[in-house]
Structure 1
Amino acid sequence: MSDRLRRPPPAPPLLRLYLAPESTVPRRIDGAWWPRTFDLLTELPPLLSGLPRAWGQIVSVLVNGTGWAGVPGRMLVCNQVVRLRRTTTERTPSTIVLMAPAHGRRDLLVVPPAATEPAAESLMSAVGLTPEQGHFAS
C-alpha cells in the first residue's frame, strides 16, 4: 500500500459565454459563445448547463455553419432530449439558436475556437457586443 496522496482530477475548463444584459429592446444577438472545439457533442452540454435559468429548458438547437462536427438529430443533455439541426445560411455570421418553450429564442454568436482574444473581441464588437455591456459567465 502506498501513502501517496491522489491528485484531484483536473477542473473542467471555464465556459466562455458572453451574455448581453437583459433589455426590453429586441436585439439580433443575445450574446457570444466561444467553444474550444467545433465538436457539438462535446461542447453543447457545458453550454446548456451554463445558461441562465431564466432562459428556460432548451429543447431545440440550430447551429449555423459548416464547421460543426457531430450534429446528430437529437442528443440527451442533462436528462433532456434536445433536437439538433444545422443550417448553412451564408448571409449571417456563425450562430447558434437556442429555443425554449414559453421562453422563446436566443441567438448567440459563435466565436471560432481558434480565435485569439483580440479577434474574439473584434467579432463581438462587430455585432454590437462590448465588454462594458455584459459579462462572461463562468
Structure 2
Amino acid sequence: MVRSAEDRMTWVCTGEPPTARLRMTDSPSSRAMLDGGWWPTSRDPVVELCSLVTALTARRGGVIERIMLQPAAWERHPCRIGVGGAVVRVGWFATLGAELVIITGRRDLRIDLAVIAPETTYAAATAAMLAASRPANTTRPADILSVPPSPRSRPLVPDADDVAVWETEGGHFQPDRHPTAPARA
C-alpha cells in the first residue's frame, strides 16, 4: 500500500491547545469498563488529541504511544501527532464506536475513555463524565449519554438550556439574587 505525504507527516498543534475537559476515576478498577470521560471542544483531532495527551501525561504519567478512534466522528485523520516533543500514533478503526477512545502506552498503559460529542449540552456532558468516571462502573460507552443524571451530578452553574426551560415554565433566573426568607405579616 502506498501512503500519501499527508499520511506520513506528523501533525503538530501550532497554537496553545485548550485544557482538556476530562474526568477520570481516582483509582482504576479491573472491574470498570471505562477509566473516565472526555468531552472535546471540537472535532479537530490534532488540537483535541494534543490537549488530551498533555492532560493524561500530567495525571497518570507514563508515555502515551497510541490512540485509537473512530474516523466518522472527526474532521480529518492524521496518523501521527506531535505532543511535547514525542510522536503519538493515531489509529482509525471503523469498527470502534465513536463514543470510545483507547489510549495505550509503555508499561501496559491502557486508558479507555467515553467520548462525549462536542455539541452535547453542559448538563448532559457533566452527567456523562461523572457516570464514566465512577469506580467500578459497568456502563458501556454507547450507553453513557443515556444514563440519567444523579442528584450529585447536577452542574453548579446552570447552562443556557436550563435557564431557557426555567424561563418558559414561569420561573425567572436572577443570578445575583440570594434567596431570602418570606416576610412575616
TM-score range, shorter chain: 0.7 to 0.9
Please name the residue that 1:78 is paired with.
Answer: 84
Q: Which has the higher strand share?
A: 1
Please name the residue that 1:47 is paired with.
Answer: 52
Secondary structure at 1:59's aligned position in 2? strand
- 1:77-110 deviations in whole A, cap 9, x for unaligned? 11111100112226x4511111011042101111
Computed over aligned residues only, the root mean square deviation of the Cα atoms, in angstroms, reads: 2.9
Work out which of the residue numbers 59, 63, 74 in structure 2 matches 1:57: 63
Counterpart Cα distance in 2 of 1:53 and 1:123:
20
Q: Post-superposition shift, 1:28? A: 1.3
Q: Supply the AA of the counterpart residue of 1:66.
A: A
Please name the residue that 1:5 is paired with.
Answer: none
Aligned residue pairs total: 122
Please name the residue that 1:114 is paired with.
Answer: 119
Q: Which has the higher helix share?
A: 2
User: Which ranges in structure 2 are unaligned for 5 or more consecutive residues?
Assistant: 1-15, 132-142, 154-185
Counterpart Cα distance in 1 of 2:151 and 2:25:
9
- 1:14-62 deviations in whole A, cap 9, x for unaligned? 4210112214433211000101101101111111111144341101000
Work out which of the residue numbers 8, 32, 39 in structure 2 matches 1:27: 32
**Bigger Rg, structure 1 or 2:** 2
Per mean C-alpha deviation after superposition, the further-off stretch among 107-116 and 73-82 is 73-82
Contact 2:22 2:37 in 1 (8 A): yes
User: Which ranges in structure 1 are unaligned for 5 or more consecutive residues?
Assistant: 1-10, 134-138
Please name the residue that 2:177 is paired with.
Answer: none
Q: Supply the AA of the counterpart residue of 2:80.
A: R
Work out which of the residue numbers 29, 35, 43 in structure 2 matches 1:38: 43
Counterpart Cα distance in 2 of 1:32 and 1:86:
19
Normalising by structure 1, we get a TM-score of 0.73
Q: Post-superposition shift, 1:65? A: 5.0
Counterpart Cα distance in 2 of 1:96 and 1:41:
14
